[in-house]
Amino acid sequence: MKSKNIYYKGSLLASTIVLTFMYVTTLTFIFHRYDVQQELISVSIKRSRIETLVNLATFYLEHTEEKQSGELVYSTGVIHYTYEATGHYLLEVKLVTGESIKRSITTIK
C-alpha cells in the first residue's frame, strides 16, 4: 500500500511543478509583451513631441523676416536654430526628457 501512496505523491509533485512552470512562463511572456508595448508607446510619444516642435519652429521661421540664429522655448522642449548660407535652417530639438535630434529644414516664403 505504501508504494501506491509514494507514486501518487510523486505524480502530484511533478504535475504541480509542470503547472507552476507553465504559469510562470505564461506570465513572464505577458509581462514582457506589456513592457515592449509600453516602450513602443513611449517612443511614439517622443517622436510626436519632436515632430510637433519641428512644425512649430518651421511655422515660426516661415513667418519671420530675420535670417539669424536663436532659440525657441516651449514647455515640452527647446529648439536651437541656425541659419546657414545655403538657405537652410539647422534645427536642434531637445526635449525636457533629455532626448535630442538635429534636422535641416528649408522654409518656404
Res 105: pLDDT: 86
3-state helix, strand, coil in the chain (%, to 5): 55, 25, 20
Q: What is the DSSP string of 59-80?
A: HHHHT------EEEE-SSEEEE
Whether residue 92 is predicted with pLDDT greater than 90 in this model: the reply is: yes
What average pLDDT is seen over the chain? 87
Whether residue 30 is predicted with pLDDT greater than 90 in this model: the reply is: yes
The structural domain count of the chain equals 1
Whether residue 20 is predicted with pLDDT greater than 70 in this model: the reply is: yes
Q: Alpha-carbon distance 35 to 39, whole Å? A: 6
**Residue, of 107 and 28, whose pLDDT is higher:** 28
Whether residue 97 is predicted with pLDDT greater than 60 in this model: the reply is: yes
pTM above 0.85, yes or no: no
**Which residues form the domain of 81?**
2-106
